Structure 1
Amino acid sequence: MLGRPTEAPTSPGEARLERVPNPHAGTHYLVRFAAPEFTSLCPITGQPDFAHLVIDYVPDRWLVESKSLKLYLGSFRNHGAFHEACTVDIAKRLVAELSPAWLRIGGYWYPRGGIPIDVFWQTGAAPAGVWVPDQGVAPYRGRG
């Protein structure tokens, strides 16, 4: 998809995640993607839900191609699923495609019905020696 016009996928199942060889295979380092304007739909009401996603991973042999990731995340815009399903499904799809040394996702969802929901998932402990900074997303405070 890189370097050419690409139609936006209509669903996460239709979306293609592309990978490229890791130019530093054998070296543990952290890659971070932040998606502060992620959207999906409530599967019950059809109303939009909004989240700030932070995806951290330590690549092994593969990197995710960022345009394909952007299109994949955008495919959730018309997809009905609960916050927990969206967050964990994204992480598990990346793990399936990339087989990273480590991956974690933080889904910081904006309030629905007055309650913000944050969803966190990771594959296990980060490899020794990898600098893993805080995800940098403040807890929801409302007007307070």
Structure 2
Amino acid sequence: MTETIYSNLKQLGGTTELPQSPEAAVLERVANPQADVSYNVRFTAPEFTSLCPMTGQPDFAHLVIDYVPGDWLVESKSLKLFLGSFRNHGAFHEDCTISIARRLADFLAPRWLRIGGYWYPRGGIPIDVFWQTGAMPEGVWIPDQGVPPYRGRG
């Protein structure tokens, strides 16, 4: 087989178990073949779940992750498995959202990254969490995340 930028991927193309925790999840990346161009990549996870660390009850969020790649792209199956690893992980909304963003920013070293964590209400209060690595880059089309303020979000 010819060596390609995809040769180091271990999870794509086969059966992969859901990691037991975010710490156990393995993110994978590939070289960005368009690294000379600034462009936005968006991942939307409208059915993200984690657990309340106090009650063990499920928490649900709509996550929107935007990033302007540098030298690396995240492999989407590894991202899906990483996000799925929060299903049995107990942490507050803020911790889950920021942990995801920081892990991606550290792993990919993107030109820019932001995350919007739009959490569904628990105790009658929706909690939305936002973070970004710095100022939005100029010259890159980055649309609004498109998630309305809570009014029976769906």
Q: TM range, normalised to the smaller chain?
A: over 0.9
Residue 82 of structure 2 corresponds to 72
Equivalent position amino acid for 2:30 in 1: V
Residue in structure 1 matching 2:117, options 100, 107, 117: 107
Question: 1:50-129 residue pairs with structure 2 within 5 A?
Answer: 50-129=60-139
Residue 50 of structure 2 corresponds to 40
Taking the aligned partners of 2:152 and 2:33, their CA distance within structure 1 comes to 43
Residue 4 of structure 2 corresponds to none
Q: Size of the alignment, in residue pairs?
A: 143
Question: How big is the shift at 1:141?
Answer: 1.0
Residue 22 of structure 1 corresponds to 32
Scaled by the length of structure 2, what TM-score is found?
0.91
Runs of 4+ in structure 1 off by over 2 angstroms are none
For residues 14-50 of structure 1, the C-alpha deviation after alignment (integer angstroms, 9 at most, x for no partner) is: 0000000101012100000000000000000100000
For residues 35-84 of structure 1, the C-alpha deviation after alignment (integer angstroms, 9 at most, x for no partner) is: 00000000001000000000000000000000000000000000000000
124-133 or 104-113: bigger deviation: 124-133
Scaled by the length of structure 1, what TM-score is found?
0.97
* Coordinate RMSD, CA, aligned: 1.0
Taking the aligned partners of 2:100 and 2:31, their CA distance within structure 1 comes to 21
Taking the aligned partners of 2:152 and 2:44, their CA distance within structure 1 comes to 21
